[in-house]
């Protein structure tokens, strides 16, 4: 099977590496030929142009969401048998305006290109006409999948964006305070890891600990005042919802 990957960014490179491990014949398409050549040397595959992807069985567009339509237009008329894929969580596969199309969205964070092993067992949200092909791709990437209707996509993606931004904002704010204390930020990370692991096993509302839960009211008031006085940027995390 020949698969073309258009856009060698964080997701494109990771997916390319994952598919290369499974012996997929890759066409690598980038605006930067040197980048595509370097990747082809590293993982195998051939550097290709927009025109040449027409010879592939499938083309995966791993370009920014805002330019998917533009790149699709540049590909022009495609053979009917070819499956066109994108990896956006927000947009439906139908924006590809091609009969056999599917969106496979990794529910994962790619701040940079990752080692393909990291994709093992992650969930992919599949949506579009060519669902069966989407499942096959996710299988090649050792992932798990959930098939959804296109109407759900903008909402679930917005929630995921809030999750990632919220988690990282909190961690950044805590790090800022911790550093002022002159302590190593590695100290609290096992605690964070423990909480995250427990999230998969217990209801979230059963996991809160600390003076408020124990009804240590005096200590709670003291700590709220300390946060407001010294680390005001953390105060929003102590508010009850």
- Residues of this chain that interact with ligand NAP (CB under 6 A) are 7-12, 30-32, 35, 62-65, 67, 71, 87-89, 105-106, 109-110
| Cβ distance to ligand NAP smaller for residue 49 or 225 | 49
Instruction: Evaluate whether 56 touches 80 at the Cβ level (below 8 Å).
Output: no
Task: For ligand NAP, give the closer residue by CB, 87 or 101.
Answer: 87
Element (H, E) at 96: none
Encoding tokens for residue 177? 């305070």
Contacts of 174-177 spanning 24+ positions with Cβ under 8 A:
174/234, 176/233, 177/230, 177/231, 177/233, 177/234
DSSP 3-state of 186: coil
C-beta of 100 vs 157, nearer to ligand NAP: 157
CB of 65 to ligand NAP, least distance (A): 5
Min. distance of Cβ 110 from ligand NAP in angstroms? 4
For the chain, give me the number of helices (H) and strands (E)?
7, 8
Considering only CA atoms, give the Rg of the chain: 22
Distance in Å, CB of 47 to ligand NAP, minimum: 11
Task: Tell me if residue 25 falls in helix, strand or coil.
Answer: strand
Q: Are 156 and 148 in contact (CB under 8 A)?
A: yes
107 vs 170, beta carbon nearer ligand NAP: 107
Indicate the length of the chain as a whole number: 241
* Residue among 82 and 104 whose Cβ is closer to ligand NAP: 104
Shortest Å distance, C-beta 144 to ligand NAP: 15
Shortest spacing between CB 62 and ligand NAP, in angstroms: 5
């Amino acid at each position: 099977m020949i698969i073309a990957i258009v856009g060698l960014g964080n997701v494109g490179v990771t997916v390319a590496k994952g598919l290369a491990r499974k012996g997929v014949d890759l066409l690598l398409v980038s605006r930067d030929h040197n980048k595509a050549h370097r990747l082809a040397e590293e993982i195998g595959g051939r550097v290709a142009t927009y025109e040449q992807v027409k010879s592939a069985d499938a083309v995966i567009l791993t370009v920014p969401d805002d330019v998917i339509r533009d790149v699709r237009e540049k590909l022009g008329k495609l053979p009917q048998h070819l499956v066109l894929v994108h990896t956006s969580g927000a947009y439906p596969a139908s924006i590809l305006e091609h009969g056999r199309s599917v969106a496979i969205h990794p529910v994962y964070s790619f701040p940079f290109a990752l080692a393909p092993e990291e994709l093992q067992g992650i969930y992919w949200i599949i949506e579009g006409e060519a669902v069966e092909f989407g499942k096959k791709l996710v299988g090649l990437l050792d992932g798990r999948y959930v098939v959804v209707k296109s109407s759900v996509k903008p909402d679930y993606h917005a929630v995921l964006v809030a999750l990632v931004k919220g988690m990282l904002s909190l961690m950044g704010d805590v790090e800022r305070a911790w550093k002022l204390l002159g302590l190593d930020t590695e100290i609290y990370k096992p605690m964070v890891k423990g909480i995250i692991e427990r999230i998969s096993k217990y209801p979230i509302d059963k996991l809160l600990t600390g003076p408020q839960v124990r009804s240590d009211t005096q200590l709670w008031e003291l700590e709220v005042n300390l946060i407001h006085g010294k680390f005001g940027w953390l105060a929003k995390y102590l508010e009850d919802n």
